[in-house]
């Protein structure tokens, strides 16, 4: 086994499917939510209101790997609007060096509340 292969074998794999509980991850997710709320307020879907939950996977470079509805609002137009809001925000900020030390992918489950009067509230 060459030195590079030995080094790779000795290093623990970074988690890819479970979010780290680090301050860097929490800060990234908080900034992601703020950006999503701003985009949602600017692109609010008419006078619709409702709640839904989405699952978003982000790569280390900030690119959007996937977004899907976990719990529907019951209104397909509102669900599509929520997916559109997330897609409009991409690409997102690349991961910080601190975050890259623990993961190369984040999965965010986020509740979205469309409150009317062009106001979107998101929570993690």
DSSP 3-state of 2: coil
- Decide if domain 20-117 falls under CATH 3.30.1150.10: yes
Give, in order, the Cα–Cα distances in Å from 12 to each of 4, 68, 116: 14, 30, 47
Question: What b-and-e string marks burial along 29-62, b requiring 16 or more CB atoms within 10 Å of the CB?
Answer: beebbeebbebbeeebbeeeebbbebebbbbeee
Q: Which helix (H) or strand (E) holds 115?
A: none
Domain ranges of the chain: 20-117
Residue 44 pLDDT: 84
Q: pLDDT digit of tens for each residue in the chain (124 aa)? A: 444 443 333 444 444 445 677 899 999 999 999 999 999 989 888 888 999 999 999 999 999 999 999 999 999 999 999 999 999 999 999 999 999 998 999 999 999 998 887 676 777 6
């Amino acid at each position: 086994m060459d030195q590079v292969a030995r080094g790779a074998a000795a290093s623990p794999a970074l988690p890819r499917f479970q979010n780290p509980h680090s301050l860097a991850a929490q800060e990234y997710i908080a900034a992601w939510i703020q950006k999503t709320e701003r985009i949602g307020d600017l692109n609010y879907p008419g006078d619709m209101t409702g709640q839904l939950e989405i699952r978003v996977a982000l790569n280390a470079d900030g690119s959007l790997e996937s977004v899907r509805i976990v719990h529907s609002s019951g209104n397909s137009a509102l669900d599509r609007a929520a997916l559109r809001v997330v897609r409009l925000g991409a690409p997102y900020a690349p991961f910080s060096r601190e975050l890259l030390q623990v993961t190369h992918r984040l999965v965010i489950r986020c509740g979205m509340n469309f409150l009317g009067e062009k106001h979107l509230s998101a929570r993690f």
